[in-house]
Amino acid sequence: MSAPSSGGASRDGYGAALLDLAVDERVVVLEADLGKSTKSCHFRAEYPERTVSLGIAEQNMVLVSAGLASCGKIPFASTFAIFSERAFEQVRNGVARPGLVAHFCGSHGGTHTGTDGSSAQSIEDLAIYRTIPGMTVMHPSDDISTRELTKQLLKHDFPSYTRTARNKTPRLYDDESVRKLKIGKGSILREGSDIAIFSCGVMVHKALLAAELISKEGIEVTVVDMHTIKPLDFELIDRLSKDVKGFVTVEDHSVIGGLGSAISEYVSSKNPIKVIKIGVEDKFGESGESEELLDIMGLTIERIAESCREI
């Protein structure tokens, strides 16, 4: 892959994708008073007649989405990741259980959100949505991949939850490489024969930097952007589990129930291999700048590198 370039936040990619999807008149957008933050405001400005603003009523937003989906519309609804958790039961029983297709986006996920503090930092959203039968769960790494994967949801036959981030991160894809992305298929950003790092969201860039760091020591690492946590790319996991000495998983999410758990659950019964999970330990976040918080949580380049050395 080419060197990362400066980019926007993944939430910007979500907002751009909604405008791309507007050509299909079945697409409708729902908000819970946070359209400016989730970037659905751009769609609302252009297509107010196809936007439903529910106010601070996330549970109602989900059930209105269900109603629209049952009438042939394709709803895209967004709020903060932490507030989406209020509507878990409605997503489960109102959308997923009856087999409706609606797509939800939780912005400002993880501790990378920063100064809003622990009450606004969802570190469990990927875990809880992963438990819902038939639910697709994604956490893209940059704005351009978020835009592409969100657009693919137009033809996706299952309900979905996508986590986006508040702050800008380096762009890891370009207009050519992003076309290779597919929901449910991991994206290999770097090839190496010794270790495989699986990461998602804002931590993918740090995984790449860690891989470059230990390459100087003769340890070669494959880095996978595992943007889709569910369904997992079992084929890729199977192949890499036979080719490398161990896995490291890296995520700005609890080590309980997220990407690391999903991969560990699978390989333990298929191709057992050592897995070191890097994420938020069993604790809440704090208030601080995003990089400061990642350091406090141990989500650092050096810790990733040290885990590779350990394997």
Domain boundaries, the chain: 10-163, 180-310
Average pLDDT, the chain: 95
- Going by pLDDT thresholds of 50, 70 and 90, the confidence category of residue 206 is very high
- pLDDT of 2 > 60? The answer is no
- pLDDT of 310 > 50? The answer is yes
List, in order, residues 6 or more apart from 178 with CB less than 8 Å away: 144, 145, 147, 148
| Active-site amino acid positions | 58
Within this chain, domains 10-163 and 180-310 share the same CATH topology: yes
- Going by pLDDT thresholds of 50, 70 and 90, the confidence category of residue 4 is low
Encoded tokens for 252: 């700005």
List, in order, residues 6 or more apart from 289 with CB less than 8 Å away: 114, 115
Q: Which of 157, 162, 130 is nearest to 145 (CA)?
A: 162
Given the candidates 3.40.50.970, 1.10.730.10, 3.10.150.10, 3.90.1150.10, the CATH classification of the domain at 10-163 is 3.40.50.970
Phi and psi for 264 in degrees, rounded to 5?
-60, -40
Strand 228-230 versus strand 195-199 pairing type: unpaired
- pLDDT of 270 > 90? The answer is no
Q: Could you tell me which residue, 1 or 84, shows the higher pLDDT?
A: 84
To which residue do tokens 């503090």 refer?
117
Q: Could you tell me which residue, 112 or 43, shows the higher pLDDT?
A: 43
Mean pLDDT across 270-298: 93
Which pLDDT belongs to residue 115?
A: 86
Task: Output the pTM of the full model.
Answer: 0.95
Quote the CA–CA distance of 99 and 206 in Å, as a whole number: 37
Quote the CA–CA distance of 66 and 87 in Å, as a whole number: 12
List, in order, residues 6 or more apart from 3 with CB less than 8 Å away: none
To which residue do tokens 């702050």 refer?
167
- Going by pLDDT thresholds of 50, 70 and 90, the confidence category of residue 5 is low
Please, what CATH class does the domain formed by 180-310 belong to? alpha beta
- Looking at residue 108, its amino acid is H
Which pLDDT belongs to residue 6?
A: 62
Quote the CA–CA distance of 164 and 81 in Å, as a whole number: 8
- pLDDT of 1 > 70? The answer is no
Judged by average pLDDT, the poorest of 116-120, 207-211, 237-241 is: 116-120
Quote the CA–CA distance of 107 and 110 in Å, as a whole number: 9
Q: Which of 111, 48, 44, 47 is nearest to 78 (CA)?
A: 44
Percent residues over pLDDT 70 in the chain: 98
> How far does the chain reach from its first CA to its final CA, in angstroms?
25
Mean pLDDT across 116-135: 95
